[in-house]
């Protein structure tokens, strides 16, 4: 499978392993999970899911060792967004909530396994989502920003990465929210 993740980033992840992979996926999750949490906020019966995601993203930033709770992937895989559906996903909010949940799923898996393939899958989903967002917003540069932040994340240098990822996550959420039924419409 060909990915959107830059070859140099993927190679760095393969060669570095461990802590670099955990930093990379923590940053990807920080940028993407606000799409899930923001778009699902206020949905009946989803409070525990939102808390789980927020707690998991926060825990991913402890990159010194894998998370102790390896069951998180299984919990996340039971989310409705990650369940197969005959209808598929056609709603804007559902699409980006799915991307947020899927990035977190790959991030948790990479944190647990230390496998660069899981980390690259995490980055690929983030880049796919941002590419779609760029296609739907004139002049948006979310894909290029994600490429840049992934390169920074793979460097292993955490300085400023959390702040940049939080800011990017908020900007992405605002952009998607502006295009949902809550702030405007668009077609996929």
**Residue-wise pLDDT tens digits, 64-104:** 999 987 799 999 999 999 998 888 888 899 999 999 999 99
| Residue predicted with more confidence, 118 or 181 | 118
Q: What was the pLDDT predicted at 3?
A: 59
Mean predicted confidence (pLDDT) in 152-168: 93
Tell me what the pLDDT averaged over the chain comes to.
91
Among 36-40, 91-95, 168-172, the least confident range: 91-95
CB of 60 closer than 8 Å to CB of 67 = yes
The total of other beta-carbon atoms located within 10 Å of residue 148's CB is: 14
Q: What was the pLDDT predicted at 56?
A: 97
CB of 73 closer than 8 Å to CB of 67 = no
Mean predicted confidence (pLDDT) in 157-162: 91
Q: What was the pLDDT predicted at 139?
A: 83
CA dihedral sign, ordered 169, 79, 150, 95: negative
Q: What was the pLDDT predicted at 86?
A: 83
Q: What was the pLDDT predicted at 9?
A: 95
Short-list 70, 3, 58, 65, CA closest to 33: 58
46-60, 69-83, 131-145: range with highest mean pLDDT: 46-60
Q: What was the pLDDT predicted at 88?
A: 81
Portion of the chain with pLDDT greater than 90, in percent: 80
Q: What was the pLDDT predicted at 182?
A: 62
Is pTM beyond 0.85 here? yes
């Amino acid at each position: 499978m060909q990915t959107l993740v830059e070859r140099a980033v993927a190679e760095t992840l393969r060669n570095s392993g461990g802590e670099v992979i955990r930093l990379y996926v923590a940053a990807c999750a920080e940028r993407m999970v606000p799409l899930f949490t923001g778009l699902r906020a206020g949905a009946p019966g989803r409070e525990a899911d939102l808390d789980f995601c927020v707690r998991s993203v926060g825990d991913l930033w402890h990159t010194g060792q894998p998370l102790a709770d390896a069951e998180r992937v299984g919990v996340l895989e039971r989310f409705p967004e990650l369940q197969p559906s005959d209808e598929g996903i056609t709603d804007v909010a559902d699409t980006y909530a799915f991307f947020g949940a899927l990035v977190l799923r790959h991030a948790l898996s990479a944190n647990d396994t230390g496998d660069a393939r899981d980390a690259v899958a995490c980055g690929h989903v983030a880049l796919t989502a941002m590419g779609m967002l760029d296609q739907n917003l004139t002049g948006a540069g979310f894909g290029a920003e994600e490429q840049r932040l992934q390169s920074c994340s793979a460097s292993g240098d955490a300085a400023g990465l959390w702040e940049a990822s939080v800011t990017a996550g908020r900007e992405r959420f605002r952009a998607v929210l502006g295009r949902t039924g809550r702030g405007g419409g668009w077609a996929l």
